[in-house]
Amino acid sequence: EAAWPAVFRGKMVPAMDVAETEKEFHLTLELPGLDEKDIQIELMGNQLRIYGERKWEHEKKAKDYRRVERRFGNFERVFTLPQNVRLERDAIVATYKKGLLDIKVPKLEPTPAAKITVKSG
């Protein structure tokens, strides 16, 4: 690993889009070249931590690379969830397809207004 170019040694920071609908939040991360087993997601209080590693695969034929722009190594993104979401592990759905990790975090159902009776003294 010490002989690797500097591009391999830095921390990878995948691009992330955050969108909101009426019912949920969508987080989409670009993670091309990974398998599902390379990606971990943890719910810690009101924070969602997405982390893993993109490994450099040595090929049987050595190549003399002239330029390497892809990032390898560990990555991590932490997203602080707003107060109006369900913070249960089973409520959050994550799917990985064609290099994109899509995470759906459902919002809480709004509590309907309830009238309170005012009583006399």
Could you tell me the pTM of the whole model? 0.74
Is the pLDDT confidence value at 46 over 90?
yes
Rounded to an integer, the average pLDDT of 85-91 is 91
Q: Which of 9-13, 68-72, 115-119 has the highest mean pLDDT?
A: 115-119
Spatial contact of 41 and 18, defined as CB atoms under 8 Å apart: no
pLDDT at residue 47, rounded to an integer: 95
How is residue 69 written in tokens?
A: 């722009």
Separation of alpha carbons 1 and 56, rounded Å: 10
**Residue 78's pLDDT band (cuts 50, 70, 90):** very high
Instruction: Note the residue count of the chain.
Output: 121
